Amino acid sequence: MRLMTRTQDILIVGGGLNGPTLALALARAGLTVTVIDAQPAAPRLAEDFDGRAYALALASQRLLDRLGVWAGIADNAQPMLEIKVTDGRAGQGPSPFFMHFDHAEIEEGPMGYMVEDRFLRRALMDAMEAAPGVTLRHGARVAAQEVTETGVTVTLGDGEVLSARLLIGCDGRQSGTAARAGIRRTGWDYGQTALVCAIAHEKPHGGVAHQFFMPPGPLAILPLPGNRSSIVWSETHANASAIMGLEEAGYLAALRPRFGDFLGGISLAGTRFTYPLGLSLAQSFVAPRTALVGDAAHGMHPIAGQGLNAGLRDVAALAQVLEEARQRGEDIGSILVLERYQQWRRFDTATLALATDTFNRLFSNDNPLLRMARDIGLGAVNALPGLRRGFIREAAGLTGDLPALMR
């Protein structure tokens, strides 16, 4: 059955974090947007803490602030005041060489904020509700998409047809939007799975984020409000599935020697998750009347917490390119316009994906020579203030050609 066609300027596929943020940025630029979310509304609005949290770089926080989303999150966000990077082996404690980044060395403020998924999600939903020009379609699947010379149509699972001038895929590393547009992907599996959970601990974390490099994969301890931290812990696939199969007590027993005892006794503070880790790059970020954002364009290793931040940088760059195009009367879906976005973001994200890849390979390793080399490297970065400040700005997302919404 073919229902009435609804027309808007832009269709966004994906209701996670990038899709809604992009919808708000585009609406602010005077464009009408419909977000097609495969998920029903209920899980997007759930109020319980499920254990998921994000490290938002300062640049990403600025974007959310400009879009009026941050006000709804600020009270529940934990500033990241320091980052400590250490090379360690389970049970042996950290090596003497480590890097210490303190936000006091840059003038912009904290390097970033830790935010629980539930607060970010609901703040985005509230902002979309309030934004004129944004329509949200929950529980809607894309059955087909078709590009013509001057427009694009998307047929939903129930037969409804939506049309627009531009289609944007924010639908993750298995992007259906990219696949339907004929955009191929390249990448590889890291042989690692990330174990993600939140823990409660006895002692305060003081706003310090820790990154330990261990032979099976990196472990990040990221501060949440209160005496809680978010854990991202990479293990080989086999170890990870064995650890996930354990009861809560066994899981904590496996975590404890890696975590150390500097925060006192620990307990689980939410659900446990796993994510297989891999690199997945789209061979092009754009196609006629189609653009890819976030993991749909570049799924990378979460080693430095760069996945969401890179996605939000895509969001800010694409919104700026489209706003400028609209204001000068250009066809916003024209490949000429979309190539400006690709030119801006592709090199940056490919570099970042390769850097995270290299970093992970260098550190997820017990080779004594490599271990010595990286310890000297960490020590050198730590000893040189200029280099250290460079890393702090990089962590805060303040380097490179920053979109206006992040400045």
Partner 1 sequence: MHPETNTVDPAEIAKFEAMAAEWWDPHGKFKPLHMMNPVRLDYICRQIAEEFDRDLIQPQPFTGLRLLDIGCGGGLLCEPMARLGATVIGVDAAARNIPVAETHAAQSGLDIDYRHDTAEAMAAAGEQFDVVLNMEVVEHVADPLAYLTACKSLLRPGGLMVCSTINRNPKSFAMAIVGAEWVMRWLPKGTHEWSKFITPDELFDLLSRAGLTPVDRKGFVFNPVSWQWSISPRDLSVNYVTASTRPA
Nearest-10 crossing angle of helices 335-363, 306-327: 170
Binding of partner 1 by 335 (CB under 8 A) = yes
Whole-angstrom distance, CA of residue 67 vs CA of residue 28: 8
185 forms beta bridges with 282
Binding of partner 1 by 50 (CB under 8 A) = no
Closest to partner 1 by CB, 152 or 232: 152
User: What part of residues 226-285 is at the interface with partner 1 (CB under 8 A)?
Assistant: none
Exposure b/e, 332-360, CB count within 10 A at least 16 = b: bbeeebbbbbbebbbebbeebbebbbebb
In the list 96, 329, 368, 385, the residue contacting partner 1 (rule: CB under 8 A) is: 329
Whole-angstrom distance, CA of residue 26 vs CA of residue 290: 15
Binding mask 283-322 for partner 1 (x = CB under 8 A): ----------------------------------------
In the list 146, 331, 348, 375, the residue contacting partner 1 (rule: CB under 8 A) is: 331
In the list 105, 330, 348, 357, the residue contacting partner 1 (rule: CB under 8 A) is: 330
Query: CA gyration radius for the chain?
Result: 21
In the list 1, 42, 336, 369, the residue contacting partner 1 (rule: CB under 8 A) is: 336
Tokens coding 295? 């993991």
Closest to partner 1 by CB, 53 or 337: 337
CB 11 within 8 A of CB 34: yes
User: What part of residues 143-172 is at the interface with partner 1 (CB under 8 A)?
Assistant: 149-150
| CB of 323 vs partner 1, minimal distance in Å | 10
User: What part of residues 92-111 is at the interface with partner 1 (CB under 8 A)?
Assistant: none
Binding of partner 1 by 2 (CB under 8 A) = no
Instruction: Give the range of 155-163, 200-208, 217-225, 331-339 binding partner 1 by CB under 8 A.
Output: 331-339
| CB of 127 vs partner 1, minimal distance in Å | 20
In the list 163, 227, 239, 334, the residue contacting partner 1 (rule: CB under 8 A) is: 334
279 forms beta bridges with 188
**322-328 long-range contacts, Cβ below 8 Å, gap at least 24?**
322/10, 322/26, 322/29, 322/31, 322/166, 323/26, 323/29, 323/30, 323/31, 326/29, 326/30, 326/31
Binding mask 16-45 for partner 1 (x = CB under 8 A): --------------x---------------
> Among 65, 9, 18, which residue's Cα sits nearest to residue 37?
18
> Among 355, 360, 194, 367, which residue's Cα sits nearest to residue 277?
194
User: Which residues contact partner 1 by CB under 8 A?
Assistant: 30, 149-150, 324-325, 327-331, 334-336, 343
